[in-house]
Amino acid sequence: MDGKNGHQVPRHVAVIMDGNGRWARARGMPRHAGHRSGVKSVRETVEIAAKRGVSYLTLFAFSSENWRRPADEVSKLMGLFLEALQREVDDLHRNKVRLRFIGAREQLQAELVASIARAEEKTQDNDGLCLIVATAYGGRWDIVEASKSLARKTVAGEISINDIDEDKLANELSLSGIPDPDLLIRTGGERRISNFLLWNLAYAELWFCDCLWPDFREQQFDEALAYYSSRQRRYGYTGDQVA
């Protein structure tokens, strides 16, 4: 898709929002203050993504491994998700955003699960930006769940083992029906994927920046988009073939 100035705009952007804790510590504040401030960056990122013509935005809010954090931090984070969801859902709906959540929902508290279900239902027919929030999500968990689903179908005689191919497995993943991310952004200075969308990121362009998530704004997003637009995507072909 062409954006402003003829630049290639990624259809799907995935984001690992890292650095909230360090942002807070640098200010002598508790970690939770960093997460709270990170919600503002989420809001701004959603707005800019929509403005720039991105169709899908997937945010890594809480990983399968984040349950290992101190109970107080986990509980405050869950409270923050609930609060942000309840506060923002009407505004997102007015802006035609379609909300989806991926991850092990059964691990979340009942009030949050109910709120998620209401938000998804309310926004399901919207045709604007599709905002996907990964909560209690892990790429390995996703592949294991997909494999179990294929195994069940095989045992039930709905498919045979030889029917299983990449498309079949992809169809069982959390992002089934959604194009793979074109661009992965990770803030906070680390250069790793941390069990995010392991299958779906196979051909994503990777953009790492040192900026801490609460400082992530339009300028940083645009830098990532400019980087993306400078890349030639080859999917195994040679550069000459693609040109």
Q: Which residues bind ligand FPP (CB under 6 A)?
A: 17-22, 35, 38-39, 42, 59, 61-62, 66, 80-81, 84, 133, 188, 213
Give the separation between CA 151 and CA 203, rounded to whole angstroms.
Answer: 27
CB environment 116-127: b (16+ within 10 A), e (fewer): beebeeebeebe
Specify whether 72 is catalytic: no
Structure tokens at 165: 């191919």
Q: Which is nearer to ligand FPP, 136 or 150 (CB)?
A: 136
Residue nearest to ligand FPP (CB): 21
Q: Which is nearer to ligand FPP, 2 or 218 (CB)?
A: 218
Q: Which is nearer to ligand FPP, 80 or 169 (CB)?
A: 80
Give the separation between CA 61 and CA 2, rounded to whole angstroms.
Answer: 29
Among the options 5, 18, 125, 163, which is catalytic? Answer: 18
Q: Which residue has the tokens 């402003």?
A: 4
CB of residue 133 vs ligand FPP: minimum separation in angstroms?
Answer: 5
Among the options 2, 66, 125, 162, which is catalytic? Answer: 66
Cα angle, residue 238 at apex, residues 236 and 243 outer, rounded to 5° = 120
Specify whether 66 is catalytic: yes
CB of residue 98 vs ligand FPP: minimum separation in angstroms?
Answer: 15
CB 151 within 8 A of CB 172: no
CB of residue 41 vs ligand FPP: minimum separation in angstroms?
Answer: 7
At 2 the three-state DSSP class reads strand
Q: Which is nearer to ligand FPP, 37 or 55 (CB)?
A: 37
- Select from 13, 10, 16, 14 the least CA-distant residue to 186: 16
CB of residue 59 vs ligand FPP: minimum separation in angstroms?
Answer: 5
Q: In 16-70, where does DSSP find H-type helix?
A: 20-25, 31-52
Structure tokens at 202: 């196979």
Q: Which is nearer to ligand FPP, 78 or 164 (CB)?
A: 78
Q: Which residues are catalytic?
A: 18, 66
